[in-house]
Amino acid sequence: MAYVKNLFDKNFIEYASYVIRDRAIPDLEDGLKPVQRRIMHTLFNMDDGRFQKAANVVGRCMMYHPHGDASIGGALVVLANKGFIPNDKVGLFIEKQGNFGNVFTGDEASASRYIECRVRPIAKDIFVTNPEVTHYIPNYDGRSTEPEVYRAKIPVVLLVGAEGIAVGMSTKILPYNLKEVLEAEIKALKGEKFKIYPDVQTGGLIDVSGYNDGNGKIVSRAKLDLSDDKRIVITELPVDTNAQELKKSIDDAFKAGRLKISSVQDLTTNKCHIEIKLPRGVYAKDVEKALYAYTDCEKSINCQMLVIKDNMPTVMTATEIISYYSKKLTAIIKDELTFEQGKLTEELHARTLERIFIEERIYKKIEQMKTAEAVNQAVKKGFVPFKSELIRPVSDEDVERLLKIPIRRISLFDINKNKDQVEAINKQLKDIKKKLKNLTQCAIDYLGTMLTKFRPEEFERHTKIASFTAVDVKEVARRDTPLRYDDKGYLGIAVNGGTEIIRVTPFDRIFIMRHSGIYTVCDVPDKLFVDTGMWYCNYAEKEIINNVLFTVIYRDPKTKCCFIKKCRIPSWIMNRDYLIVPDGMEVLHIDTREKFSFTLHYVKKPRIKVKEETFNSADYEEKGHKAQGVRLSLHETASVEVESSDTQLSLL
């Protein structure tokens, strides 16, 4: 058993780690999940400027992603639709051709064999694909390589958003506006304060008062056109909703009797347009709150920015991610400049060797050499007098490259051209050294350049920040459903016939005082057996129940003596039974009037002249609901007769 338990624990931990790191949660470095990263890697490798069949991209991507074509095809469509112009053919990273679905209507994309795509050139500016800067690892079968993570220069995780459920954790990151993210990163580099909020393609309104910088809750609403009193037009959708889902929620609310409308028509294409017509006597203002309360016109969304940082799941804020990327960008630029500096230095070294090799006729010294080693040494010795001009010592690779220079090139060697090339390289190296001394300004300049590379339409904000409070369905619900009680002891909204007690909503809670003295608070029942008798029933609202004074007359079954108890019910727990009298006592009567008179009829016995006695409830003090009652008489009581009144509250 111990072996099985250890094996289970080991396998579960490995599975959980795999799901968290390799499937569900995006990496902070490039903002992508593994399948998205592999799709981008495939598109970069296939890029020739022309559109590629999506099915072809999926097939090629299977070299890196071992989970089948369906998951890759779906992820490709989702990634292609990440952008800031609704239903535009150009996404943030991928340019589309064909039907990739519709984020407004909810229509699905065509099969991958019918659609085409290609990577946008700007994606190569965002993701560093240079193997000298980005770390590549073997793919799952070792036949090829793929990036472990791309080094992204801007916070992609905020631009595309993310949603995923892993073992014991989940992430929900809403997308942000491209321009606002770039400007926030510039402010972070300058040490200035900034605030950013989500922006989704479908527009709508969001209240961010509880957003907590990405780890709280937003309330999102559809944008309603109420200019016509007899018609409501939904022009923008809430977050994470499409027109099909929204129309269905409206239909469901209408069928449930929660909305008064005459018809709803979905005319959405590349922009939301859902038209709701109202019946006679109903106006737009009357229906607005009900739409927010009962349909997807208003949604509360909980967000959590969980990302993989340094191979560990970490919860971060939007501000922290922007600040992290501002520092990361300077590091990437430094690595790129250092790589370019090394490349140019090698080029300068090669140009210098070539000039000396040809100009000083070092190649003449190898004519008499008979072995490869002798040739190599002759070339190296030929450069000894010019050691001060060289950037580094001559290597075997340098000699090999010089020996491959053709005779035609030697004879046509242009010293002036070589000099110009050296000057150009030196100028570039000087610029690089200057940039390396001011990396922060380089990063700011890069982001400024990015702001000019995107189209102006991609900077447009679609979601409006507003301030409003979520509509409570309990406030909007109308108490128009009768709660009935029949002579068989059943209480509920599904009870046929009987007596109507009160009118309720599905969200009400009911206080019930049974004939036995047991009281309960529960949700509105469909059909609940209460008792063959019920003393009291009303809304379980403390402002109502706390104001009700219960007067209980009960009898001890052993002594037959009667007691009176006056109390209020201050608190309760849902769906729990309480007894208003001491355990084992017999309830004779419960009243909710402030005062009333009642008569006790005593058991007839020899030599007892008193046969009955009348009391007034006002003569007794109110006690706590857990207290004992006050004994009314020492005589054995046969029955109680209570003064009747039409003013008693819900007494049955």
Q: Exactly one of 15, 18, 114, 140 is catalytic; name it.
A: 114
The 3 state secondary structure assigned to 430-469 is HHHHHHHCCHHHHHHHHHHHHHHHCCHHHHCCCCEECCCC
The rounded Cα 100 to chain-centroid distance in angstroms is 23
Q: What is the DSSP string of 128-151?
A: E--TTTS-EEE-TTSSSEEESS-E
The three-state secondary structure class of 198 is strand
The rounded Cα 123 to chain-centroid distance in angstroms is 25
- 328: CB partners within 8 A, 6+ apart: 29, 151
β-bridge partners, 499:
485
The three-state secondary structure class of 581 is coil
Distances (CA, A) of 286 to 223, 394, 511: 16, 87, 31
d(CA 94, CA 43): 9
Give the dihedral sign, CA 343/347/352/358: positive
The three-state secondary structure class of 601 is strand
Let me know if 63 is exposed, middle or buried by CB neighbors in 10 A (0-12, 13-18, 19+).
Answer: middle
Distances (CA, A) of 65 to 62, 166, 583: 5, 18, 69
Q: Are 650 and 629 in contact (CB under 8 A)?
A: no
The single-letter code of the amino acid at 442 is C
β-bridge partners, 490:
529
Distances (CA, A) of 348 to 343, 380, 382, 421, 484: 9, 18, 19, 8, 95
261-268: long-range contacts (C-beta < 8 A, 24 or more apart)?
261/287, 266/105, 268/104, 268/105, 268/243
**Measuring CA to CA, which residue among 192, 170, 172 is closest to residue 183?**
192
C-alpha angle 12-14-19 in degrees, rounded to nearest 5: 95
Distances (CA, A) of 130 to 44, 118, 204, 252, 341: 11, 20, 40, 54, 15
d(CA 504, CA 497): 17
d(CA 350, CA 348): 5
Q: Are 623 and 566 in contact (CB under 8 A)?
A: yes
**Measuring CA to CA, which residue among 328, 397, 367, 396 is closest to residue 30?**
328
Concerning whether 114 is annotated as a catalytic residue, the answer is: yes
Active site residues: 114
